[in-house]
Amino acid sequence: MSYKNLAVQKKIAVVFSAIGLVMIAFAFFLLQELNKVESEVINFTDSTVPSVLSVEDVYFEMNAYRRNQYAALTYQEKDLPNLLALLSKQEAQIQSDLDAYEATVASADERRVFERVANSWQKYLTQLKEFNGLVANKKAKLAQQELVDSFSQFEEVGTAMDGLLQANLVFVSNNRKSIMGSVNNVTLATKVSFSALIAFMIFITFFLARQICRPLNLVVEQSKAIAAGDLTFELRRSEIGNDELGALADTNIEMQHQLRILIEDTISAVTQLSAAVEEMSAISEQSSRGMQQQQSDITMVAAAMEEMKATVAEVANNTETASTSALEASEEAKQGNQDVQSNIEQIQIVSRDIEQAGELVEELERESNNISV
Each residue of 200-256: pLDDT tens digit?
A: 889 888 877 777 777 777 778 778 878 887 777 777 776 676 767 777 778 877 787
CA nearest 124: which of 99, 145, 150, 162?
150
Kind plus residue range of the DSSP H or E element containing 275: helix 244-328
- Cα separation of 355 and 362, whole Å? 11
pTM: 0.49
pLDDT computed for residue 156 by the predictor: 94
In order along its 373 residues, the chain shows pLDDT tens digits of 566 666 777 777 877 788 888 888 878 888 888 888 888 788 778 777 888 888 899 999 999 999 998 888 888 778 888 988 999 999 999 999 999 988 888 888 889 999 999 999 999 999 988 888 888 888 888 988 988 999 999 999 999 999 989 988 888 888 888 888 888 888 888 888 889 889 988 988 887 777 777 777 777 877 887 888 777 777 777 667 676 777 777 887 778 778 878 888 888 888 888 787 788 777 767 766 766 776 676 677 567 667 766 765 675 576 566 556 656 655 665 776 676 677 678 778 877 877 887 788 778 778 767 765 5
pLDDT computed for residue 1 by the predictor: 58
pLDDT computed for residue 323 by the predictor: 56
Q: How far apart are the first and last CA of the chain?
A: 77
Whole-Å CA distances, 48 to 32, 53, 104, 299, 365: 22, 9, 10, 143, 138
| Amino acid in the structure at residue 298 | I
pLDDT computed for residue 310 by the predictor: 72
Whole-Å CA distances, 130 to 51, 73, 134, 249: 32, 14, 6, 108
CA atoms within 13 A on the CB side of 331: 0
- Cα separation of 71 and 8, whole Å? 91
CA nearest 124: which of 213, 166, 61?
61
CA nearest 99: which of 87, 114, 120, 116?
114
According to DSSP, residue 46 is labeled I
Non-local (6+) Cβ contacts of 50 within 8 A are 104
Rounded to the nearest 5°, which phi and psi values hold at 67? -65, -40
